[in-house]
Amino acid sequence: MKFEKLNPKKVEKDLAVFLSKIKIKGVSVEWLKDFIFNFDKPTSSISKDYFQFMMNKLPAEINEKDFEKAMMLFNDAWNAFPQKILKGASPQDKFFEGVKDGELEENVDESKLTEQEKMFKQHFEYAEKNLDGYMKWAFDEVMPKYDKYVKNLKLDKRTTLDSVGVAGVFLEICGQMGMFEFDKLHPGFIEDFPKLFEKSVVGPKISREQIKSHITSFISFLEIFYNINFLHRSSLMF
């Protein structure tokens, strides 16, 4: 399993270019490095405190593409820059301790795994192998096409933004969970998606009924334009 180590200098350069474009008041590369270095809430508090804090710094009018770019760069910065709680190392430095040439040695005796553990191992190996292709398809092809589709419906601006945003989060969560074959998605996942959305997104509130409406529209779009037959379609009408 290969893991690419981030180049901190490249992360700094990419951040500088991006920050000069969106102009976040009071935020520079040096400010972010200092903020990360002195951040003192590890593990489970990272997502809640670091990322929520940085998201709240973003301009209210930021578009979806720039928002996704910001989240990616904030994530890279967190992993590449040194932290006081790690004694001056970065999270990726700690990860690569004892790892040779970026290859994580796995000493798993598969004969000792349960059937369920084997299933999960195969699933995540499949997910890792196919993630890049899926994300390229989802965000280079599907999202631009869906954006045009929604705009052609001539909805008000807020509804258009919410609809496209919900679709983007749906694709993102499916990618993170390695669920690339939509025709095999369990109906329970679709039913639980509004709750997942609420836990994943910090920003303007969208009601569960609105989330359900938006995801139902996106599912219909995928069925029409990509000939995807969702499992037990009739049960996905909430």
Does any domain span residue 196? yes
Q: Are residues 116 and 219 in the same domain?
A: yes
Does any domain span residue 78? yes
Place 8 in a pLDDT band, splitting at 50, 70 and 90.
very high
- Higher pLDDT: 40 or 92? It is 92
In this structure, which amino acid lies at residue 7? N
Does any domain span residue 103? no
Report d(CA 210, CA 159) in Å as an integer: 9
Q: What separation in angstroms does the CA of 190 have from each of 112, 179, 182, 183, 222?
A: 34, 12, 10, 12, 14
In this structure, which amino acid lies at residue 232? H
- pTM for this structure? 0.52
Q: What is the pLDDT of residues 139-190, one digit of tens each?
A: 999 999 999 999 998 888 888 888 999 999 899 888 877 778 887 777 777 8
Specify the pLDDT at position 117. 58
Place 1 in a pLDDT band, splitting at 50, 70 and 90.
very low
Q: Are residues 135 and 176 in the same domain?
A: yes
What contacts 208, CB < 8 A, 6 or more positions away? 194, 195, 198
- Higher pLDDT: 36 or 127? It is 36
Place 104 in a pLDDT band, splitting at 50, 70 and 90.
very low
Place 32 in a pLDDT band, splitting at 50, 70 and 90.
very high
Specify the pLDDT at position 57. 85
Tokens 């965000």 belong to which residue?
A: 139
Final residue of a structural domain among 74, 96, 118: 96
Q: Are residues 123 and 225 in the same domain?
A: yes
Pair of tokens at residue 6: 């981030």
Residue 129: give the domain boundaries. 110-237
Tell which phi-psi region holds residue 36, choosing left (phi > 0), alpha (psi between -120 and 50) or beta.
Answer: alpha
Does any domain span residue 128? yes
Place 5 in a pLDDT band, splitting at 50, 70 and 90.
confident
In this structure, which amino acid lies at residue 178? G
Contact 208, 194 (CB under 8 A): yes
Q: What percent of the chain has pLDDT over 90?
A: 23
Instruction: Over range 32-57, report the average pLDDT.
Output: 72
Does any domain span residue 2? no
Final residue of a structural domain among 96, 131, 158: 96
Specify the pLDDT at position 213. 92
Specify the pLDDT at position 17. 94
Q: Are residues 126 and 226 in the same domain?
A: yes
Task: List alpha helices for 97-207, DSSP H.
Answer: 115-136, 143-152, 157-176, 187-200
Q: Are residues 118 and 182 in the same domain?
A: yes
Q: Are residues 122 and 217 in the same domain?
A: yes
Instruction: Over range 59-82, report the average pLDDT.
Output: 84
Q: Are residues 30 and 138 in the same domain?
A: no
Q: Are residues 141 and 61 in the same domain?
A: no
Final residue of a structural domain among 68, 96, 124: 96
Q: Are residues 226 and 195 in the same domain?
A: yes
Specify the pLDDT at position 149. 92
Residue 101 has pLDDT above 50, yes or no: no
The gap between the terminal CA atoms of the chain, to the nearest Å, is 40
Does any domain span residue 184? yes
How many structural domains comprise the chain? 2
Q: Are residues 91 and 114 in the same domain?
A: no
Q: Are residues 134 and 184 in the same domain?
A: yes
Q: Are residues 126 and 154 in the same domain?
A: yes
Q: What is the pLDDT of residues 182-226, one digit of tens each?
A: 877 777 778 888 888 877 676 667 888 999 999 999 999 998 898
